[in-house]
Amino acid sequence: MKTDRHSSAGNLLDSSLLDRRGFIYQLGSGVGTVALSWLLNQDRAAAEGLGANRTLNPLLTKPPHFPPRAKSCIFLMMEGGASHMDTFDPKPKLKEVSGKIFTRDDKLKSNQNNGDRFFTSSPFEFQRYGQCGREVSELFRNVATCVDDLAFVRSVYAESDNHPAALFQFLTGNAFQGSPSIGSWVAYGLGTVNQNLPAFVVLRDGQPFGGTATWGNAYLPTCYQGTQLRSGAIPILDLQPPEEIGRQRQRDSLDLLQRINREHSQGNPTHPDLEARMASYELAFRMQTEVPGTLSIEGEPESIRKLYGVDQEKTKAFGTRCLLARRLVERGVRFVQLWSGGWDSHDDILNGHRKAADRVDVPIAGLIKDLKQRGLLDETLVVWGGEFGRTPDTNEGNHKKKTPGRDHNPGAMTMWFAGGGTAGGTLIGSTDEIGNKAVEQRQSLKDVHATLLHVLGLDQSKLTYYHAGRFKQLTDTGGTVIRDILA
């Protein structure tokens, strides 16, 4: 049986419980496994000195497995699949073969590659930037000024060319719905530093492929799911009580509910989610005073608002989200997930990608520079990527257009990392000469997830949760930490 401090199993197991735990294992399924999870959670409470009769707050700050490089993570999600060969992985060979028929060596047929296919060169120019001399597309002129702080991995690959499945794999480690998101695992493993704010916050752009399950808690307790903050005057629906209900009345009602819940919990140890629910009620109450101030950017200097592009119409929305991300990690939020869509450029890579990049280039550069000038970049990991890359070719119909597009390509994609103990200016991995496949130092998404957890001080093999008869983890079959990008 696999156990550790950051799983429902806990460590420092009480040998007196081994017999009854073994008995529960024999029950096989249903209430037996639920009861086992509760018992193991009680072991964890005892190991941390909380006592068997004291309610364990699942949102309490928890120590990492080893000294972390970063305290928090900001995950920049480019939904739709940004093209690596049009952003950070130039392919001059495509100019030589552009317009010629591309025959796939794997003979794979799908909606993205059926019929005749034609090579398509990039419509964007690349230029070298920084002391590291990294080549960056004209789409990211502002991010390019930060390349000495960025660690690039050009050889990441996924498994699905379907948006929802690819997003699930990218953000939960599993191409099928029903697994906890990365942010949920981080919140579960480390808790929250600020007890008045969630550990995991989502700043979304519309409704993504796959829906809210991409930041869901799945089988982890509900308190670990991502908390969505909406734009506008009401960032969280139903957070504030009606005006006629004062704060003291609300506090009294909550105390009564908590007392009833605790009494019920003591007599029903097979309902471990009740503790998570009680913690969520308390968090919501505390958030009523903390959230409004956190989300107000009115007090930010004009220079900072300009740095993030909040003063410009095309960058205002994402710039505001990036500025909020900085304010959130500054106040102890562990994981912030930012979304920006519009990268699914099947028909027109020139205008589609330019429009998508115009919304995020200035804000992302502003975020990195602001974190750095405040001394926060060293303790904050920033991750950039999309669910897959794009193909070096297009179908016959698009080929005849003046502005052809590109299709989905899980075989090759670029990601970059900044801060959090990563080695700025680093470049590892490569794709083939046309950008179709990752070929050198290939890194799976499980490797990416293992690296992210490692930077935050979490061991992927120890961060487990007992569910459906076995101990599960983010990197279920194991990933390899990408140490070449670590300082």
Task: Give 60-117 pLDDT, tens digit per residue.
Answer: 899 999 999 999 999 999 999 999 999 999 999 999 999 999 877 665 555 555 678 8
Beta-sheet pairing, 393-395 with 430-431:
unpaired
Q: What are the helix and strand counts (H, E) for the chain?
A: 13, 19
DSSP 138: G
Cβ atoms of 156 and 443 within 8 Å: the answer is yes
What are the Cα distances from residue 4, in Å, to 183, 189, 199, 229, 463?
A: 20, 11, 21, 33, 7
Going by C-beta distance under 8 Å and a sequence separation of 6 or more, which residues neighbour residue 92? none
Residue 240 has pLDDT above 90, yes or no: no
- The 10 Å Cβ neighbour count of residue 294 is 20
Phi first, then psi: give them for residue 115, nearest 5 degrees.
75, -170
- Strand-pairing partners, residue 390, are 408
Q: Rounded distance, CA 275 to CA 200, Å?
A: 18
Which residue type does 291 have? V
Query: Is the pLDDT higher at 10 or at 77?
Result: 77
Query: Is the pLDDT higher at 234 or at 422?
Result: 422
The region of weakest confidence among 76-80, 262-266, 423-427 is 262-266
- Per-residue pLDDT tens over the stretch 126-172: 999 999 999 999 999 999 999 999 999 999 999 999 999 999 999 99
pLDDT band at 19 (very low <50, low <70, confident <90, very high): very low
Instruction: Work out the average pLDDT over 286-311.
Output: 76
Cβ atoms of 322 and 338 within 8 Å: the answer is yes
Report the pLDDT value the prediction gives residue 486, as an integer from 0 to 100. 98
Q: Rounded distance, CA 324 to CA 285, Å?
A: 21
Q: Where are the alpha helices (DSSP H) in 81-198?
A: 93-97, 141-144, 163-172, 182-190
Q: How many CA atoms lie within 13 A of 93 on its CB side?
A: 12
Cβ atoms of 342 and 356 within 8 Å: the answer is yes
The whole-model pTM stands at 0.81
- Per-residue pLDDT tens over the stretch 368-383: 999 999 999 999 999 9
Structure token pair of residue 378: 């060293």
Classify burial at 458, counting beta carbons within 10 Å of its beta carbon; exposed 0-12, middle 13-18, buried 19 or more. Answer: buried
Three-class secondary structure of residue 342 per DSSP: coil
- The 10 Å Cβ neighbour count of residue 422 is 25
- The 10 Å Cβ neighbour count of residue 146 is 24
Residue 316 has pLDDT above 50, yes or no: yes
In the chain, where does the domain assigned CATH 3.40.720.10 lie?
Answer: 72-234+283-485
Report the pLDDT value the prediction gives residue 59, as an integer from 0 to 100. 80
Structure token pair of residue 70: 């970063």
Which residue type does 401 have? K
Q: Rounded distance, CA 305 to CA 309, Å?
A: 6
Q: Which fold has domain 72-234+283-485?
A: Alkaline Phosphatase, subunit A (3.40.720)
Pick left, alpha or beta for residue 418 (phi over 0 → left; psi -120 to 50 → alpha; otherwise beta). beta
Q: Where are the alpha helices (DSSP H) in 12-70?
A: 18-27, 31-47
Angle between helices 247-267 and 273-295 (to 10 degrees): 160
